Structures are given as structure tokens and as C-alpha cells.
Amino acid sequence: MPIPTPGSDSKAAESKPADSASASLDAFARRTLADLETRALRRRLVETERGPGTAARRGARSLVSFSCNDYLGLSDDPRVIAAGQEALARYGAGAGASRLVTGNHPVLAALEGRLAAHKGKAAALVFGSGYMANLGIVPALTGSKDLVLVDALGHSCLFAGAQISGATMLRFRHNDVEHLRAILSARRGRHERALILTERVFSMDGDRAPLDDILAVAAEHEAWTLVDDAHGLGVVEAGARAPLEMGTLSKTLGSYGGYLCASQAVIDLMTSRARSFVYTTGLPPASAAAALRALEIVEAEPERAARPLALARGFTARLGLPEAASPIVPILVGEAAAALALSAALEARGFLVVAIRPPTVPAGTARLRVAFSAAHTQDQVDALAEALIDLGMGGV
């Protein structure tokens, strides 16, 4: 792509590739996009302003958002904003370099201490994002001689971490402990180490992993277990803790970043070996300060933490759906185009409820994903239920 000179028409420059390599690149992109379009898989960014609270604005249209993972409404809590602002004013916009290079920031150390205590672990390490955490953690623990077992509905970053590790990667059927046990019985002996990857709350289904049973099978076969708690922290806390508990600062904690809580030895190993920690710039102190304040609020206000699940349960009862196990409720539609049409119909009625399509979810299981927040009012939830019933989706 030629660099437009002052006064040149950059649009024209964009549409005329300079050489045949650029032309073939653009042709490839267009062909692939056309293919995605025909399969209803093309994704587009839609300009949307978020907030305050559960509000979303698209052009002139005001919507109530049920598509946000800010489950406790903390991303625009005045106390969280103030903590972020103070750190921003004091420490600046960015971390400047890797934490191993510029020196560790006390705000990050304080956040790590609080996360570790929250999870009952000896130590914690904050990463640039939850996705980056898994890209770093899994390859730091496993390599070509090892076995990584991933729940079939695990998040993309669990699979990506397993792939980067070079280990033998196998999927076990979703939440199927017997399948997991069978694979370990048949395969464990051929590998040096084994690592199981699952989620406390599954991001697109809202159900929970049977962690007690998974940890028991792991113990039988000397396998390690990593639980991705991206959607559980602060809203679904019950249940066993795994030796490796990772998650994100971007959902319940309303900020940005990822973390791992584990033993001191494991965290020390990550500090030297997780490439997505070592070779990337530290999290901006303002993001860490906001997350730390949010975590304090989560711990101090249990009634807030209970609200999203209570709203989700009222909603599933109203629609005759299986009882919600978390603030995430899937409404299965089937084909991608039908899910998109339902999402558009809801948008026309003032609700932002995103359609989730393959490859994010298995083929034939396109759905609406409804996410409840402590910031929703009961009236907003009732209005969404009414709209869905009116559109033919359940109703009792």
C-alpha cells in the first residue's frame, strides 16, 4: 500500500494496490469475506456507545444492553472510575515497557496480592488480558511430550494456548467426566505431564463445570487442572478451587487485563517462562487500580454479587428455560441467519442482545446470549422477557 502524500487522494490509493502481491492479498481478503458472507459468518463492528449503566446508543437509537460482561455494573461505578483516574493522573497512561524491564509497579503488586487472597492462593500474576494469560500459561507448563485435555466448549484462548504449547491436544466432551477419565486412562502413560483445561462458567452456555469430579479424576491420573474463571469471579464463587485459577479483569471487575492465581513456585515460573508476560508491556497502572477497587467492592458488597444470578433465574423461569446456573443465559436458535434475525428484531424493540454464531459455538447451535448485570432493573428484564415471548421464543 503506497503511503499517501499530502494532497493525494488516500481513497484512490487504497483502491489501487501498487503491485501484484498487494493485489493478490486484497483479492484473497475479498474472496474470503464473500465466502463468510454467504455462510452468515461475516462479522462487522457496529459503532455503539456504552453506558451509563446498561444503556447502549447506536446512532439515534437508545438500547438496553444484555450483551455486556460487566456483570456487576462496576465499569462505570464512580469509585472504580475515581481509582482509575487517580492512578492515571499520578502514573500516566501506559506502563512504558515489560514489568521485567521498567520495574514492577506497586499498584500491580497490590492487585496481585488481593487476587491471590480472594482465590485462597499463595500468589498471583497479572497479564495483559485473559486471552494473553492463557497463551502464556499453557506453553509455560507443557510441551511436545505432554498431553493437554480441553473441554470441547472451552474458550478459544484455551485451545490457542494448547496449540502453541506443542503438546498433544485432545478435546473431552463438554463437562463429561467419564470421557475425561477414559482419555486419561488410555493416554496418560504415554505422556510426561498432563494438563486439563476447563471453565468455571462456560462463556456461551452459562453452565458450570463439575469441578469436584474433574479434580478427583485429575488426582487419579496425576494431571494438573487449570480453571478459566473469566465469567465466575464475583458472581459464581461456589465450588472447588483448582491449582491453576486464571481469569480476566475485564468482566466482573469492569476494567481490563488477565491474571493467574497459583502457588508461589508456579507464579515464579510464569514470571520467567510465560512469553505473553515476559515480552509484552505491563498493564497500564490505571487499569490495575480500577480492577483493585472493583475487587474490594465485590468483596464488600455480597448483595450486589448475588443480583445478576437472581435476575437470570427469574428470566429463565418466565421463559420456561432450564434454570440459569450463572448470569449468562443462552437462547438456542439453530441457524446463524435466524439468530441474527432475532437479534435484529430485538434491537428494533430497544434491546441489544447479541447473536452468537459458529465458529464461536458449534454448527447448528447459533443463539442469543443474554447476559444479566446487577445494573439491570427488574422492569428491563421483564420487558426483554415480554419481547421474546412476543417473538415466539418460549413463554409460560
203 carries an active-site annotation: yes
The nearer residue to ligand PMP, 172 or 191, going by C-beta atoms, is 172
Q: Which is nearer to ligand PMP, 112 or 380 (CB)?
A: 112
Q: Which residues pair with 330 in a beta bridge?
A: 369
Q: Contacting ligand PMP (CB under 6 A), which of 95, 138, 157, 298?
A: 157
230 forms part of the interface with ligand PMP (CB under 6 A):
yes
C-alpha grid cell, residue 209: 463445570
Residue of 53, 73, 84, 130 that binds ligand PMP (CB under 6 A)? 130
Nearer to ligand PMP, 121 or 251 (CB): 251
198, 250, 276, 373: residue in contact with ligand PMP (rule CB under 6 A): 250
Supply the DSSP symbol for 208.
Answer: B
Which backbone phi and psi does 129 adopt, to 5 degrees? Answer: -165, 170
Among the listed ranges 78-86, 127-135, 169-177, 373-381, the one in contact with ligand PMP (CB under 6 A) is 127-135
Contact region for ligand PMP (CB under 6 A) — 83-91, 125-133, 236-244, 380-388? Answer: 125-133
Give per-residue burial for 372-387: e unless 16+ CB within 10 Å, then b: bbbbbeeebbeebbeb
Least distance (Å) from ligand PMP to the CB of residue 70? 12
Contact 204, 153 (CB under 8 A): yes
The footprint of ligand PMP on this chain (CB under 6 A) covers a number of residues equal to 13
Binders of ligand PMP in range 183-222 (CB under 6 A): 199, 203
251 is known as an active-site residue: yes
Q: Count of alpha carbons within 13 Å of 315, Cβ hemisphere only? A: 33
Residue (127 or 393) nearer to ligand PMP, CB: 127
Stretch that binds ligand PMP, among 24-32, 124-132, 233-241, 319-327 (CB under 6 A): 124-132
- Least distance to ligand PMP from the beta carbon of 169, Å? 17
From the number of C-beta atoms within 10 Å of its C-beta (0-12, 13-18, 19+), residue 96 rates as middle
Active site annotation includes 221: no
Measured CA to CA, the distance from residue 103 to residue 115 in angstroms comes to 20
Among 99, 119, 155, 318, which residue sits at the site for ligand PMP (rule: CB under 6 A)?
A: 155
Catalytic choice (77, 199, 207, 245): 199
Contact 387, 351 (CB under 8 A): yes
Q: Which residue is nearest to ligand PMP (CB)?
A: 130
Opening angle at CA 394, ends 152 and 206, nearest 5: 30
Specify the stretch interacting with ligand PMP by CB under 6 A; choose among 214-222, 228-236, 312-320, 352-360: 228-236
Distance CA 342, CA 216 (A): 42
Our answer to whether residue 199 is catalytic in this structure is yes
Do the beta carbons of residue 53 and residue 352 sit within 8 Å?
no
Q: What is the per-residue binding string for ligand PMP in 69-88, x denoting contact by CB under 6 A?
A: --------------------
Whether the Cβ atoms of residue 161 and residue 133 lie closer than 8 Å to each other: no
Buried b (16+ CB within 10 A) or exposed e, 136-154: bbbbbbbeeebbbbbbebb
Residues paired with residue 58 on neighbouring β-strands, in sequence order: 61
**Binding range to ligand PMP, per CB under 6 A, among 32-40, 225-233, 302-310, 377-385:** 225-233
Q: Which of 105, 121, 155, 376 is the catalytic position?
A: 155
The one-letter amino acid code at 141 reads L
Cis preceding linkage at 106, omega within 30: no
Q: Is 259 in the site for ligand PMP (CB under 6 A)?
A: no
129 touches ligand PMP (CB under 6 A): yes
How near is the Cβ of 247 to ligand PMP at its closest, in Å? Answer: 7
To ligand PMP, the closest distance from the beta carbon of 308 in angstroms equals: 16
Asked if 77 and 292 touch (Cβ cutoff 8 Å), the reply is no
Q: Taking the alpha carbons of 67, 126, 237, 179 in that order, is the dihedral positive or negative? A: positive
Q: Give the single-character DSSP code of 223.
A: -
Distance CA 313, CA 374 (A): 13
Catalytic residue among 69, 129, 287, 326: 69
* Residues found near ligand PMP in the complex (CB under 6 A): 129-131, 155, 157, 199, 203, 228, 230-231, 248, 250, 258
The residues that are catalytic are 69, 155, 199, 203, 228, 231, 251
